[in-house]
Structure 1
């Protein structure tokens, strides 16, 4: 294979770049209730304290504020005014920013896969590829949610953040290829989770402007909510009287200057602290507050509030594997728009990029499969070192224009079945915990990956997709181009005998849908109340056993709204029966 093809591969790894510009007249919410934590009082009191202004925390706090005084604490800054968040053209720029103030905090799992967690108001909805799709009816039933209220909550979210994408030629070819190979029926555009092939929603509007969970704060009662940015919660405070169950009654947080603040719940039996800090942050904060495996907490000299061995367990990340397809013709720029929902446990999705000739800056640096954001599939996970990333970036900077023409078709495992755990590294809430996902430790996940990639191969070879592939490039060549390019100068595979099983293991990446750590039935009950303590709930993706839908953000936002309504309703009923 010629050098040009290797260059083509590396270009494509960062070439899913977005050129659409946002509407110049886009209205940015201006929240009078949003302040930097440096302005906060040393001590304050509220009906509800929500920890984490992310995908669940924003809709949750907005809903509760209709009737109650709410404090929303977010460890990051505002997404507004940051073009790397707002502009479709800049997708990946925030993910590649590894500075201490970045809206994205990089972490590397013990498996060696590079990942990211949000550190910004709006959470992951400020960083992701924008795909919007609901959970399946079966998922809703198994979660024990009220179907009518779920639908109303989704609609509440969708009025502000969800849109129908404009599906162009390359995405249309993938869609038609999915149908051609049997992922049927073609369900057209829908937010609903339906087996077959569909076009999903997007949180990018027609002007390429991102709408996030932070926008849902437009629903808030501005006189009853306070949002504090750059407010890092160090621990939850508990009160124990005469051997009674621990009761959460306050939090300790620090502002960006390191100054210490305390916020307490007002006196009252139904006031609560709600943790919405995400699948890494929520179990981490519970442990820092003394709720977790006793032996592990003792090792970090943390006073034990409740021995709860399930905190941090059940951590899962949906493994993603992709095949790069160079195109003989220009393709549109797209993120995830089309999805094939199979019956064998895999979702098929796609993203594409195009040649950017003569443009200023370096848009090639920031693609959905860019080494700069950690999506380095060309070496196995444990070899994705800073040196390997630097080498990939160096090669990328000397690419020909044609290298940015093509796209990826990916498969993501449903579930997954494999899971791991999370542990503290230190008592510093700013330091990432140690997390292990154990990708493909269950052979059924590996089997699903192989079936998913086999389906991707069929799509590439379909008549519908034929206009976007070179006829002289067989599937084994595409696999080796994706998996064995010499980033580390020592290719693991040099022939066309690379098995799909090995391809799955060597090229596994994240699609940022990790979950678990505070699962329902183990750490929280069906109302998301933390088992064994009072006045404390967890409402976010850490409670999930499986990632909902093909992409979880719609359901996480829905859950914030849903639980805000449910908590308010529970409280009203209790007040009426006093």
Structure 2
């Protein structure tokens, strides 16, 4: 049995950061375990490959939720990265930090050291922005963030114009001094290729003698000496193995797998664990609770002018843009699925944006729910608008299906279970109709395809939301950070309550969902977690 100073479980958006930073000085030995395999895959590195990895079992956990009453009893498909880089290797690459108020709220909830002024230095530390460093952006971090303006479709300018006609300001940088406004997104990419955390943090560190990376290593159970976490059991290509941690184990398996591993190991709601025959090490009711996720709705339009459909639908378009990408790393294949969007307020009286918008100059009416197969768009010109309320109030949970570590857990999102969430979704739907009525957009639109002009009343819009709204793949808070050990799972230093030598560091510890895409805040959290751990070792 091998011994290490630190064991990091999960080579995802936070885990890769931790493995790099904890091994950086050469003082500590680090074992990084990843259930999936290598990220050296063309469809991972090419941004448009998102559509290929979306349903690719070799790199994706491909979870299914339980039927959810809030969305008309439908089952949601939840892709999660099962590969080096985790979900940063298969996501849509949009880089959004969130609003300063998000993090100030974390601090106000009792998490000292997690306010905006506390986390901004870690955002900057992680980043190299292609526009250079300033008071808000980093210039020499491992994670490269790129502006896509040179390859954006011209319709993005029409979207921004439509937003301005609705009195939403143009914002050239959603991660700058302010988030509010409409503009174009930035991606985690460099030289036309995806910048996952595996590429940013592990590739430069892979040759360190004190860092060991084990792939195809599925963690099955934490090992304890009393109430101290001392090791990890894992299955690697059918063989059971164990490793010991002299100092700490950091679980960074994500908002689904981290609470699952804790529960499998005896940390969780005691009565539920006993029902599965699991010995309770620490009765922690909050494990798996407080689940939050962004829910969005798309409106699809048939266009009077050419869109990306005409470039990417024909075989010769695929061939041309494929060759262009291979030779130059330029063109639509070098971009993510969302090109433009924004953060806006849907009604007066709000003190910050409550809605995130997405604009894609492409349409795919026959795609499976949630999938955006950019290489197979509609034969006719089309585009879509999307809206997602930024701070949902509905709460779900994740529970064990059985004591089998290879069985997927039960995911209960509990979408749209509050009146506030439905009101926000309704306002988002009406806002997209307002966009369509602007001079800038109305001249481009031939017809609304979905939901269609027959859907008009509030009751019809609500029914459409329940039948079509889908996850935006941002689950958080299932091992929530907070001061109350009766409902929270980790303290402000990410230490698991009641257990020595164990922390959780990933999206599962978010006290609340941030306003926007979650990958950037998870990378920040990995940076800050590494700093906390190293400081605790030095004290």
Q: What range is the shorter-chain TM-score in? A: 0.7 to 0.9
Pick aligned residue for 2:100 from 137, 160, 173 = 137
1:76 corresponding residue in structure 2 = 36
Pick aligned residue for 1:191 from 170, 175, 196 = 175
SS of match in other structure, 2:337: coil
Aligned counterparts, 1:430-441, within 5 A: 430-441=406-417
Q: Which runs of 5+ in 2 are unaligned?
A: 69-74, 107-112, 129-142, 309-331, 347-353, 483-487
How far the C-alpha of 1:88 sits from its partner, in A, is 2.3
1:19 corresponding residue in structure 2 = none
1:217 corresponding residue in structure 2 = 202
SS of match in other structure, 2:290: strand
Moved over 6 A (4+): none
SS of match in other structure, 1:59: helix
Distance 1:468 1:78, change over 3 A: farther
How far the C-alpha of 1:336 sits from its partner, in A, is 1.8
- C-alpha separation between the residues in 1 aligned to 2:450 and 2:378? 19
How far the C-alpha of 1:519 sits from its partner, in A, is 0.5
Contact 1:59 1:561 in 2 (8 A): yes
1:340 corresponding residue in structure 2 = 342
Pick aligned residue for 1:469 from 436, 445, 448 = 445
1:479 corresponding residue in structure 2 = 451
- C-alpha separation between the residues in 2 aligned to 1:71 and 1:478? 49
How far the C-alpha of 1:222 sits from its partner, in A, is 1.2
Contact 2:394 2:414 in 1 (8 A): yes
Q: Does 1:162 align with 2:145?
A: yes
- C-alpha separation between the residues in 1 aligned to 2:455 and 2:241? 60
Pick aligned residue for 2:65 from 89, 103, 108 = 108
Q: Does 1:515 align with 2:476?
A: yes
Contact 1:110 1:435 in 2 (8 A): no
How far the C-alpha of 1:51 sits from its partner, in A, is 0.5
Q: Number of residues paired by the alignment?
A: 466
**Which whole-Å deviations, capped at 9, do the CAs of 1:387-436 have from their partners, x for residues lacking one?**
xxxxxx9xx99x9722xx21211111222100111111122223210011
Aligned counterparts, 1:421-570, within 5 A: 421-470=397-446, 473=447, 478-480=450-452, 499-521=460-482, 522-570=488-536
How far the C-alpha of 1:549 sits from its partner, in A, is 3.3
- C-alpha separation between the residues in 1 aligned to 2:366 and 2:43? 15
Contact 2:51 2:371 in 1 (8 A): no
How far the C-alpha of 1:117 sits from its partner, in A, is 1.6
**Which whole-Å deviations, capped at 9, do the CAs of 1:131-162 have from their partners, x for residues lacking one?**
10112222233333265663332233322331
* CA root-mean-square deviation: 2.4
Q: Does 1:122 align with 2:98?
A: no
Pick aligned residue for 2:245 from 265, 281, 284 = 265
Aligned counterparts, 1:234-383, within 5 A: 234-240=220-226, 246-256=227-237, 258-266=238-246, 271-332=247-308, 335-344=337-346, 345-353=354-362, 371-372=367-368, 374-375=369-370
- C-alpha separation between the residues in 2 aligned to 1:218 and 1:291? 33
Q: Which runs of 5+ in 1 are unaligned?
A: 1-42, 241-245, 355-366, 378-392, 482-493
Contact 1:109 1:115 in 2 (8 A): no
SS of match in other structure, 2:285: coil
How far the C-alpha of 1:176 sits from its partner, in A, is 2.0
SS of match in other structure, 1:304: coil
- C-alpha separation between the residues in 2 aligned to 1:480 and 1:187? 30
